[in-house]
Structure 1
Amino acid sequence: MNQNPFGVLFDLDGTLLDTAPDLGAALNHVLAIHSLPTLAYEDYRNVASHGAAGLLKLGFKELLDDYDPNTLREQFLTYYNDHLCVDTRMFDGIDRLIRALDERNVPWGIVTNKPGWLTDALLPHFEAFTNCKVVISGDTLDERKPHPLPLIHAGETIRLPADKIYYVGDAERDIQAANAAGMISVLAQYGYIRDEDNINDWEANHIVPTVASLIELLIIR
């Protein structure tokens, strides 16, 4: 293994955690409140990385403008907060990856656009995240991804130069932020990628189709 010091930063939803079931349940709750058809998992899974706004747009479609967006968002987030970790799980292999990083004393952290009050409530459900060195949420700083500032701040916290840090995410904004920060961008293709996403245009340094291939990239190196 390459012994040069390096670090890893991760997106959260669609990269470390499969949060789509619980996010989708929140969407379906709001749809049911307004007597609209609910959606199946396969309908909303690949939109989960786009948060409340993206999911509500998916569910309400052309009717979205008929409703107050703040009310819908509040209904969504209230339900999601109350059912934050019902069916959310780590992607298969993530626990092994995190253990391997910890065993090798590789500093790692999380940079997500999820609001801090949700991030802070969700992470303690997973013992594997105990040694996380930094957590930057969508409202921690004045900017959020795709702006590079959250990644730059996280990199400064783990005290490594940008070119020694891998940033792993499943959305275009993740790759944009990593590239702008001068980090090694890694696209988690196993995450919430939509059929219409042209991932080859995102200019990721690496594309990993599975967690196993992510482990190969980061641990075997």
Structure 2
Amino acid sequence: MRGKAGVSLNGKPISAVFFDLDGTLIDSAPDLIDAMRRLRAELGEPVIEMDKVGMVVSKGGRAMLRAGFPGIAEARVETLLPRYLDLYAQQIALHTRTFDGIDAVLADFDARALPWGIVTNKPERLARSVVAELGLAARSAALVGGDTLAKRKPDPEPLLHAAQLANVDATRSVYVGDDARDIEAGRAAGMRTVAAGWGYLDGEDPRDWGADIVVARPQDLVSALGLD
């Protein structure tokens, strides 16, 4: 599941790599699914299979509520969302871990003094909490959440803001994500884009998103960026 090898930046070195969070850097599905189970129990709803919730983690809390409460009205989605996020915040990193291979990638970037950051549609308070719990906060050059600005992905503004925070040139940066809107946002920001083939794809083919390259595993990311 890979496209052409190497990301071309017109002969210029990469100045930073930015990542989506859920489904790209971290496997947060177990804790998000557990919060959904607790919400259903709190509301007196019967136990159901939660596989579909895990498949749409990258599409946000509303999509997860639609999966966790099949047939739910949109008005009830909005009503339940704050409570769902509160339940999730209570146990935000009980089972959440970085994906296999990500720690080595980040260590490689740190050794090269290559800045990396996070741009997510997850609310900033939740993003900062889970990143801190996983010991990544002090190492990240920027963290932009879904409510940090008035706009969120697929708008490019969060990515451009992250580049400003990291004091790097967006056009010499790379964005890695596991959803089509990640690639749309990265391209609109002038960044090179990498589709993460290891994320929560929900049956989608990341080769359809128009990314510069598709990488099947985190372990392949350094070489795919042309850094080895």
| TM-score normalised per structure 1 | 0.91
Alignment-mate amino acid for residue 168 of structure 1: V
- 1:213 matched residue in structure 2: 220
Percent sequence identity over matched residues? Answer: 37
| Residue of structure 2 in register with 1:106 after alignment | 114
Q: Structure 2 vs 1, CA of residues 67 and 34 (structure 1 numbering), >3 Å: closer, same or farther? A: farther
Q: Distance in 2 between matches of 1:85 and 1:5?
A: 31
**Residue of structure 2 equivalent to 1:8:** 17
- Give the alignment partner of residue 150 of structure 1, picking from 149, 154, 158: 158
SS at 1:167's partner residue?
strand
What is the CA distance between 1:136 and its match in structure 2? 0.5
Is the 8 Å Cα contact of residues 101 and 219 (structure 1) preserved in structure 2? no
Letter paired with 2:173: I
Report the CA distance between 1:218 and its aligned residue.
Answer: 3.4
Structure 1: stretches of 5+ with no match in the other structure: none
> Residues 218 and 200 of structure 1: is their aligned pair in 2 closer, same or farther, counting only changes over 3 Å?
closer
Whole-angstrom CA distance in 1 between matches of 2:226 and 2:137: 17
Decide which of 33, 42, 55 is 1:33's aligned counterpart.
42
Q: State the partner residue of 2:3.
A: none
Q: Is the 8 A contact 2:19 2:176 kept in 1?
A: yes
Provide the aligned C-alpha RMSD in A.
2.1
Which stretch of structure 1 is more off in the superposition, 158-167 or 140-149? 158-167
Change (3 A) 1:76 1:166: same
> What residue is the counterpart of 2:125 in the other structure?
117
The equivalent residue for 1:61 is: 70
Q: Is the 8 A contact 2:174 2:194 kept in 1?
A: yes
Give the deviation of 1:159 after TM superposition. Answer: 2.8
Superposition TM-score, scaled by structure 2 size: 0.88
Amino acid at match of 1:20: A
- The DSSP-based 3-state class of the residue aligned with 1:31 is helix
Question: Which residue type is aligned with residue 213 of structure 2?
Answer: H
Find the residue that maps to 1:55 and give its secondary structure.
helix
In the TM superposition, what are the counterparts of 1:85-96 in structure 2 within 5 Å? 85-96=93-104
Deviation at 1:22, TM superposition (A): 0.5
- Match of 2:58? 49
Instruction: State the AA in 1 paired with 2:97.
Output: R
Distance 2:154 2:38 in 1: 29
- Please tell me the residue identity of whatever aligns with 2:181: R
Aligned partner of 2:209 among 187, 198, 202? 202
Q: CA deviation at 1:41?
A: 5.4
Q: 2:93–2:133: 8 Å Cα contact kept in structure 1?
A: yes
Structure with bigger RCO (C-alpha 8 Å, 6+ apart):
2
Which whole-Å deviations, capped at 9, do the CAs of 1:63-112 have from their partners, x for residues lacking one? x1287334311221111011111100010111111111011000111101
Paired residues, what number? 219
Show CA shifts across 1:149-169 (max 9, x none): 000111122233223101001
Cα distance in 2, alignment partners of residues 85 and 59 from structure 1: 20
Contact 1:95 1:128 in 2 (8 A): no
Q: Does 1:84 align with 2:92?
A: yes
Q: Which runs of 5+ in 2 are unaligned?
A: 1-10
Corresponding residue of 2:6: none
Greater helix content = 1
Tell me, in whole angstroms, the C-alpha distance in 2 between the residues paired with 1:127 and 1:52. Answer: 24
Give the alignment partner of residue 189 of structure 1, picking from 191, 197, 200.
197
